Amino acid sequence: MSGPERAATVYRIAAIPGDGIGPEVVSAGRRVLDAAASRFGFALDWQELLVGGAAIDAYGVPIRDADLAACRAADAVYLGAVGGPKWDDPNAAVRPEQALFALRGGLELFANLRPVSAEPTLVDASTLRPEVVRGVDVLIVRELTGGLYFGRPSEERETPEGRVAVDTLWYTEQEIRRVVRLAFELARGRRKRLTSVDKANVLASSRLWRKVVEEVAPEFPDVSYEHRLVDATAMLLIRDPGSFDVIVTENLFGDILSDEAAMLTGSLGMLPSASVGARRTAHGLHGLYEPIHGSAPDIAGRDLANPIAAILSGAMLLRWSLGRADAATAIEAAVRSALTDGLRTTDLARVGARDREVRTLGTRAFADEVVARLADAQGTGHDPARTASPAGITADDAAVITATDTLLGMP
């Protein structure tokens, strides 16, 4: 059949460079994503938004309603980092981080997926012994829209006895159930082991968490699970990180444990994340993708930031929100190839490559190397079946995240 050539699909991405090193890593990531798009025959239509400290300076608020709406309307959101000392006054009424909570809560992104795996080339980068970190492959599923981050009241008060402050830890069973169910699904697509982390010996919310895990577990008879207290988990993550597969936990515990787990890889600059909820677009799950690192104001504007976390977050975006597993895999392979060739950013400069010279590059030059390697990537072509997954998180999606997760642990 003859006819006009089918136009390449154009996906709409909201880009939030943010503050500190955010703009540098987002720009690096965008270049890699655009290169992958043209390599695989699609296009990305970027809408850049001022959010965070930059928005406080420009508009007086951390995020405008119109920009939140633009994020909702986009196929996915790609974020660098927000915050910095300029906006850190504890008495300030507006804080850059409020933008993150507006996005996470406003877009109902209740699950934050943080894959942590040890890249073989970089096992010497960790402060732990190589034999402890080798082969580590953990997926942390952090509840993202409940708990202390969202509980009200959360405020400081003057009382006759002096100042008091209150934060509220509050979870509904529905909030627990949906993230626990997702974690079981993801475990099913991996090594089928789930660790649910709580503080049930102290907190009522944790005891409800435990009950809900028990109620959900029978739906996943093929997944083995355990409950573990958060303090003991923090210890075991250092003693024997290889013993974990999927960890699911509430918001604050997940925040703390994921920074700890990041150190298994040697640098916070390595770790991507995806925040997703139940909503799907025409192409995949709606989601927000960001490095787990912060805005690193001390190195901002100096071309020193490691763009890998942002680049890999972009790969997660392609896979989860756009159904472009082919392009995502190519990006991951390109990053790996750059590392194997001895290319490093400053945070990893001391880590040798087995049989090659190590070369330290700036943010931009490292991204250039990834782009160059993408051009050589073997494409398998876009598989439309990938985008046609039904509503809800499927085992297919689980397989997809498994691929992301094992990226830095592949032989």
By CB under 5 A, name the binding residues for Mg ion: 255
Is 24 a binding residue for ligand IPM by CB under 6 A? The answer is no
Is 97 a binding residue for ligand IPM by CB under 6 A? The answer is yes
- What radius of gyration do the chain's Cα atoms show? 21
Contact 169, 204 (CB under 8 A): no
- CB nearer to ligand IPM: give 11 or 87: 87
From the list ligand IPM, Mg ion, none, partner contacted by residue 17 (C-beta under 5 to 8 A by kind): none
Q: What is the number of other CB atoms lying within 10 angstroms of the CB of residue 5?
A: 5
Round to whole Å and give the CA distance between 360 and 345: 5
Is 143 a binding residue for ligand IPM by CB under 6 A? The answer is no
| Residues 231-260 as x/- pattern, contact with ligand IPM by CB under 6 A | ------------------------x-----
Cα dihedral 6→373→265→405 (10° resolution): 30
Is 100 a binding residue for ligand IPM by CB under 6 A? The answer is yes
Q: Which two tokens stand for residue 273?
A: 């994340």
Residues 287-326 that bind ligand IPM (CB under 6 A): 292, 294
- CB nearer to ligand IPM: give 50 or 100: 100
Place of tokens 């992958």: 36
Contact 171, 209 (CB under 8 A): yes
The residues carrying an active-site annotation are 149, 199, 231, 255, 259
Is 111 a binding residue for ligand IPM by CB under 6 A? The answer is no
Residues 347-406 that bind ligand IPM (CB under 6 A): none
Round to whole Å and give the CA distance between 267 and 392: 33
- CB nearer to Mg ion: give 271 or 335: 271
From the list ligand IPM, Mg ion, none, partner contacted by residue 230 (C-beta under 5 to 8 A by kind): none
Round to whole Å and give the CA distance between 382 and 384: 6
Q: What is the number of other CB atoms lying within 10 angstroms of the CB of residue 353?
A: 17
Residues 259-278 that bind ligand IPM (CB under 6 A): none
Round to whole Å and give the CA distance between 288 and 321: 9
Q: Which residue is nearest to ligand IPM (CB)?
A: 97
Cα dihedral 15→17→18→24 (10° resolution): 170
- CB nearer to Mg ion: give 11 or 253: 253
- CB nearer to ligand IPM: give 262 or 370: 262
Q: Which residues bind ligand IPM (CB under 6 A)?
A: 83, 97, 100, 255, 292, 294
